[in-house]
Structure 1
Amino acid sequence: MKYLVVMLVLICVCVMKATAQEKQTFSIGNGSFLVNNEPVVIKAAEIHYPRIPEPYWEHRIQMCKALGMNTICIYIFWNLHEQRLDQFDFSGNKDIVKFCRLAQKHGMYVIVRPGPYVCAEWEMGGLPWWLLKKKDVKVRTMDPYFIERVGKFMNAVGKQLAGLQINRGGNVIMVQVENEYGAYATDKTYVSTIRDMVRNAGFTDVPLFQCDWNSTFKKNGLDDLLWTLNFGTGANIDNQFKELKKERPDSPLMCSEFWSGWFDHWGRKHETRAAKTMVQGIKDMLDRDISFSLYMAHGGTTFGHWGGANNPAYSAMCSSYDYDAPISEAGWVTDKFHQLRTLLSNYLKPGESLPAIPESYPVIEVPEIHFTQAAPLFTNLPKSRQSADIQPMEQFDQGWGSILYRTTLPASIKGGVIKITEVHDWALVFADGKLLARLDRRHREFTTKLPPLKEGTRLDILVEAMGRVNFGWSIHDRKGITEKVEIIENGIPTALSNWEVYSFPVDYSFVCSMKYRKSEVQTMPAYYKATFNLDKVGDTFFDMSTWGKGMVWVNGHAIGRFWEIGPQQTLYMPGCWLRKGKNEIIVLDLKGPREASVRGLEKPILDMLRKNTPETHRKEGQNLNLTGEKVVMHGRFTQGNGWQEIKFPFPVEGRYFCLEGLSSFDEKTVAAIAELDVLGADGLPVSRDAWSVVYADSEETDKGNFTADKVFDLQESTFWRTVEKPDFPHQIIIDLGEKQTVTGFKCLPRAERGVPGQIKEYRVYVKIDNFKF
């Protein structure tokens, strides 16, 4: 009887808990979000489950809770879960249900952002590579094949997470439809279709929303969705929401991505953003009852091959996604963390307090590991496939890694040039095993001179695929060699054919199957293997500064890419993936190491840039001479934030566009521009894909990464900024890549209050030939 009473009590308790959970609601009220009909300000922390080892998920969620957040915001990465067609995987580090349940365990709501496109500096913005096997596919459009595949993916996500909506006992309070689509296209039919797919997948009980920039949110805004805005630290909060408040005066306001820092590119300076500026921006929003999601609260690591790229100009992302976030890559507290925690503690309800900050995981040093075994790539060739013509990697059913194209010269040549259309993304060119050139897509290096070569010479082109572009139309980014290879001799091109093709994927099962033998450092591309023993485990940072370019696997885990140019020189090694006793490490180095050794450090090296190319776009002693040049437009901007469009009185033909700033509104010496568009014959912006900066009179690189190429990187929160001296005038010259009919231009100043560095008076020059220096 006593046992029966206890059981009945337990059952009643469970029923009461279930009933309590069923009463949870989340809704949109008049000017505020409501939980159980009570107003709430969403304080969300964006973190990404695949950028955190699964054993560390709970720790990072607790860190966000201790920071003062009440919500976790997550993308769902389609290409992570469907790496092969119709093969969905939500296990292990992809177990999104477990991740959301852990957040619920610690009293955190969840905002789900399933895309299908997510950006996130992630390979192809989260879209699967195999979409590109269809040669005419148009992603993020009403392309029937793309829409069909999105539907299947969204249904798979719904089966995982629809049951976790808050009114069903879970903690999911909102779901996003697409992602910053206004920066990609204007197509309400497409956005409406994605909205319907999200609902059909089961997300019917919580609000759906769409996010964009304040310059693009009207393009695709749907009446039945909540509208939110994305912007970065330092932005003028009132100006950001000005137009949205006019359109939706009764809607709650939310910054769905408040960028706490920025991401790092290979070959560019390490990015940081001031803690004081970030904290002030959040205070400004809280004082106005504006909800926010901090992107990123904790960036983590883009393990393996998953890093994306920007274009134009092509620039791949580093493996570290530290993002200068409040919680560091390894889960440590930072000065930003403490400053933000102090701020958020002032916005608690009576009787509330922030939980204690969790202890960080232990960190260890690992003594130097020497590699004595190697497997040269060219003596470990997999089975080849034949192809009459050049085709990209995807047509050989390969998603990531490196690919080798091999043929023989059909006739002798006395010299000339080899032209590759195009290298995606980094290539080594060999003739009979001798290295002729390294070609880098970042610098549009698609040709190289050839020495005299005999008929039958074996030509090898080894191409490494870096990250697929994750933003803009360039996400249709096929890898390997995308079109053709030609020998140009005496001005006559001859296309090469009859290729043997070898694929080198990134799978651990492939790299561990190489034939490793005792060997010294190789001068050719090679895999290296070693073992090391540990008495204890802990997080560490493998120092790759003596190596060239490649990827690392430890105990079967692909921990990331390395590249000697930096700025990242170490790879974060989570202690949960190490083990006491024997451990294995494999390194693929395509360029070749100076020393084949690795050691584990207690701190990362994320800001050591080593490259031979200049940081700025002005050669030493170079001075622009505009004497006698025809001024196309002489005018004055309007003071304030936001895009401004200038129409020329008449069209002008030209390839080189020069904007000269003559003065600034703040009457200081610095000029700054966030984005620049050149308008073509149809009055619309011309493609930026082939743009390059020819000249900028001044670029600030000591206090930040404010180079002139920021004016066409498609990122409104980055900008070109000149140094404090010299004074005006300041000039920037852009090569448009080909002759255009130019009818005007658009200019976006910085987003901060007061618009620092905004040019007031300007002149514009357009020429067919380059300017004089």
Structure 2
Amino acid sequence: MMRQIITFLFIVSFTNLVVLAQKTERKFEIGNQTFLLDGKPFIIKAAEIHYPRIPEPYWEHRIEMCKALGMNTICLYVFWNYHEMEEGKIDFRGQKDIAAFCRLAQKHGMYVIIRPGPYVCAEWEMGGLPWWLLKKKDIGLRVQDPYFMSSVKRFMKEVGKQLAGQQITRGGNIIMVQVENEYGAYGVDKAYISAIRDIVKESGFTDVPLFQCDWNSNFQNNALDDLLWTINFGTGANIDEQFRKLKELRPGTPLMCSEFWSGWFDHWGAKHETRSASELVKGMKQMLDRNISFSLYMTHGGTSFGHWAGANFPNFSPTCTSYDYDAPISESGRATPKFFEVRNLLKQYIGEGEKLAEVPDSIPTISIPAFELKQMASLFDNLPKPRTSEKIMSMEAIGQGWGSILYRTILNKSVAGQTLIITEAHDWTQVFIDGKRIGVLSRMKGEGAVMLPAVKQGAVLDILVEPMGRMNFGKGIYDWKGITEKVEIKSGKTTTELKNWKIYSFPVDYEFVKNKSFRAGPAPKDAAAWYKGSFSIGKIGDTFLDMSTWSKGLVWINGHSIGRYWQIGPQQTLYIPGCWLKKGANEIIVFDLASPEKAEVKGLRQPILDSLKGNSAYTHRKFGQDLDLSNEKPNYAGSFKPGNGWQHVQFDSTAKTRYFCLEALNSQGGDDYTAVAELKIHGDDGKPLSRQHWKVVYADSEETDDANNIASNVFDLQESTFWHTNYSTSKAKHPHQIIIDLGEEKTVSGFSYLPRPEAGKPGMIKDYRVYLKLKPFKF
């Protein structure tokens, strides 16, 4: 009998081992011109969504929406700074439980692609890199700086602990892992990419393909032989042209667009971005018919809650709280008309025996009647304990990651009609004398000086600085906040640096903002204050908080940090997830930096994402300004070839230059427009000059009514955005000119021109002239 029992237990154990082995024998690999899932050809149809931009109670709903769209995979970044907000304190709990997010995707039959960075971009604060790295003034970011690399290794090891066990070979659903992110837009450093690859492997990601993504124009710069190469591009791109070079170099590789941009992100002060649904579907169909895999970036954008929205580079351009992205699934998780157009396409490509999932119900919405926030706490009446310093210090230098910062000093002599110069105030600055505001400076507009009124010795100078998200792209990730250099008073030719500062920190933590001395009473004029109120609801649902009567600031609901608002738009509402509300009374706190028109809010059923107010910071031609080239001689004249892709021009001789003017004389198609995606200007060594300090000082025409085709797009390092002259032919006639200030004198030997990425579109330049000057052009 005992022998029979032992035999039975052996059979059961052996059977379990066989079943377990069968479960863990699943495999995802690279085949000949195709991916292979368990040995069979597989096309990745991935939906990019970001777990920090979706409230944790809604994760499953958003995954179900992606499944119903016709996707088979979820693609997501790992946001380092979201998990390690303080050095050495790494958190993967609750809203940050990325492993739980992946398990939810597996529950619904979805595979997962992980993109752990360490840099992710994503229009996210500092591109996902932690702010505390900047406490080391000489830090090297995205290079083999020992401190940076040891920090990356520590974090990636923890990511491996969370996710390596969920690779498909181990019973999970992770099928690919990315190494770094779009490094070609940052630099050329294969040794660094190799080191990151090794760290990813050492963290446990050894069972699935590793890949790197870049643009078709730069993917070779850092391409490693043992990684899969993928290409990123957007709606309307010429699909065959995007993959042409990759197919030449690797004819047997599976092709994948690792970011097919469904829309675009919004900037404060600029029109809400949209992209054509028909062009999106057209591009997806072309890829599917060519056996090309893709990840739709974004399928659902969500919200950059709290302080997490970043800023673009070059030219500081902060992004909005809403990351709606004009994606098929809206910011609040609702199916858009674009959703159903994509779904109708993808249902034609469902695998044999598969069925398109039903679209889940939308989260209900509610409206909230207007109510007033009657309690107020002035910033100047609620100053925390200061830090004293002889010289100005950045936020990072005093250990502050986010929030606002106040610098205070006493003027030691009387002044009148002199200029206060603040060098590198990041990002939105208000200047006060004895509590009265005398000026507002915006980094977006390059402002850094204010005239001082007549004040007596002993006057109190206060400078309140609000950072608006660290830049998330290019070399802009070195983005210290607060006042990063110095403050001076200029009188004639004499400048005097101000010293002996008291520095006050105002964090964004709820525990900090709730503990204020609130009182009833009118708001202070042109000054920062916290406002507190409550509202009651009978049922729970999503809503959109109308902030259109407020100036600029942040909102907290029931302790949840909702995000930034700014009266300039285009976003005028803030998305409030119903899962963060409760029946009955709800608390709201608003930190408004410059006093509202009316301390009142209400909840709407629909968002307001495209309402601009006031003067835009983005146009590059003053009213009545006309460029005068009548006495100028072009340094170079030529003609571009028709078609897409970069074209390179070498001048006959080098020239000392500060101002570069490109004049388009006509177009390839005979239309009246000019469009340029990117410009590079070459130095005397033939290599592209840094574009970090470039400014557009003139563009004869820009489209800002129906799209954000502004002139500074020619050096935003984004090949899918472009400068386009005004769509109205009455305003757009050749010739068209753009003038770029290089920021300092340079020796120039040529330039490169990238037309807009679509085939056969208007605005492709044919004949052109180039003017180079050391002094400004005449108008």
Normalising TM by the smaller chain, what interval? Answer: over 0.9
1:696 to 699, 722, 728: 699
Identify the residue that residue 727 of structure 1 maps to in structure 2.
733
Match of 1:559 among 548, 558, 562: 562
Instruction: Give me the whole-angstrom Cα distance separating, in 1, the residues matched to 2:622 and 2:441.
Output: 23
Separation in structure 1 between the aligned mates of residue 646 and residue 292 of structure 2, nearest angstrom: 24
Matches for 1:289-688 after TM superposition, within 5 Å: 289-523=291-525, 524-613=527-616, 616-688=619-691
1:769 maps to 2:771 = no
Write the distance in 1 (CA, Å) between the matches of 2:530 and 2:101.
35
SS at match of 1:379: coil
The one-letter code matched in structure 2 to 1:298 is H
- 1:60 counterpart letter in structure 2: R
1:8 CA displacement: 12
Amino acid paired to 1:565: I
Amino acid at match of 2:765: I
> Matched residues in 1 for 2:596 and 2:71: separation?
44
717, 734, 744: which one aligns with 1:738:
744
Contact 1:307 1:319 in 2 (8 A): yes
Q: Deviations over 1:621-642 (max 9, x none)?
A: 3322211201100111122211
Structure 2 partner of 1:101: 103
Matched, 1:39 2:41: yes
* Count of residue correspondences: 771
Query: Residues of 2 paired with 1:285 and 1:431: CA distance?
Result: 61
Letter in 2 for 1:689: Q
Structure 1: runs of 5 or more not aligned:
1-5
Cα offset for 1:738?
A: 2.2
Percentage identity across aligned positions?
61
* Paired residues for 1:14-29 under 5 Å: 18-29=20-31
Distance in 2 (CA, whole Å) between partners of 1:178 and 1:490 is 50
Query: C-alpha offsets along residues 631-688 of structure 1, whole Å, 9 cap, x if unaligned?
Result: 1001111222111121111122222211111121122111110011122233222222
2:242 to 234, 240, 244: 240
Please say if 1:754 is aligned against 2:764: no
2: CA distance, partners of 1:582 / 1:14 = 54
Please state how far the C-alpha of 1:617 moved relative to its aligned partner: 2.2
Q: Rate the CA distance shift 1:140–1:701 in 2: closer, same or farther, 3 A.
A: same
Q: Deviations over 1:94-137 (max 9, x none)?
A: 00010000000000000000000000000000000000000000
CA distance in 2, matches of 1:620, 1:382: 45
Cα separation, 1, equivalents of 2:626 and 2:319: 33
Q: CA deviation at 1:313?
A: 1.1
Displacement of 1:14: 7.0
- Please tell me whether residue 231 in structure 1 is matched to residue 237 in structure 2: no
User: Does the aligned pair in 1 maintain the 2:179–2:196 contact within 8 Å?
Assistant: yes
* Structure 1 residue aligned with 2:134: 132
Q: Normalising by structure 1, what TM-score?
A: 0.98
The answer to whether the 8 Å contact 2:558/2:588 transfers is: yes
CA offset at residue 700 of structure 1?
1.7
CA contact (8 A) 1:557 1:577 kept: yes
Cα offset for 1:69? Answer: 0.3
Q: Which residue of 2 aligns with 1:58?
A: 60
Amino acid across the alignment from 1:98: A
Secondary structure of the corresponding residue to residue 300 of structure 1: coil
Indicate conservation of the 8 Å contact 1:750/1:756, yes or no.
no
1:754 CA displacement: 2.6
Q: Read off the aligned partner of 2:538 and give its amino acid letter.
A: D
- Distance across 1 between alignment mates of 2:436 and 2:749: 50
In structure 2, the residue matched to 1:3 is none
Deviation at 1:444, TM superposition (A): 0.8
Contact in 1 for aligned 2:270/2:616 (Cα 8 Å)? no
Inter-partner Cα distance in structure 1 for 2:351 and 2:744: 60
Q: Please give the secondary structure, in 2, of the residue aligned with 1:98.
A: helix
Between 19-28 and 273-282, the greater mean CA deviation after superposition: 19-28
Match of 2:70 in 1: 68
Which is worse superposed, 551-560 or 348-357? 348-357
| Aligned with 2:254 (options 218, 232, 252) | 252
Contact conserved, 1:463 with 1:480, CA < 8 A, in 2? yes
CA contact (8 A) 2:684 2:747 kept: yes
> 1:243-298 CA deviation, whole Å, 9 max, x = no partner?
00111110000000000000000011100001000000000100000000000000
Q: Which moved more, 1:308-317 or 1:60-69?
A: 308-317
Alpha-carbon distance change, 110 to 395 in structure 1, aligned in 2, over 3 angstroms = same
Instruction: Please give the alpha-carbon distance, in whole angstroms, between the structure 1 residues aligned to 2:273 and 2:590.
Output: 27
The answer as to whether partners of 2:269 and 2:616 remain within 8 angstroms in 1 is no
CA distance in 2, matches of 1:96, 1:632: 56
Deviation of 1:461 after TM superposition, in Å, equals 0.4
Work out the CA distance in 2 between the residues paired with 1:621 and 1:557: 48
Do the aligned partners of 2:627 and 2:778 also contact (CA within 8 Å) in 1?
A: yes
Letter in 2 for 1:478: W
Q: Mean alpha-carbon deviation: is it higher for 548-557 or for 688-697? A: 688-697
Offset at residue 764 of structure 1 (A)? 0.4
Check 1:14–1:373 CA distance in 2 against 1; reply closer, same or farther (3 A cut). farther
Residue of structure 2 aligned with 1:116, choices 115, 118, 143: 118
Partner Cα separation in structure 2 for residue 210 and residue 596 of structure 1? 49
| Cα-to-partner distance string for 1:439-475 (whole Å, 9 max, x where unaligned) | 1000011111111222211110010011100000010
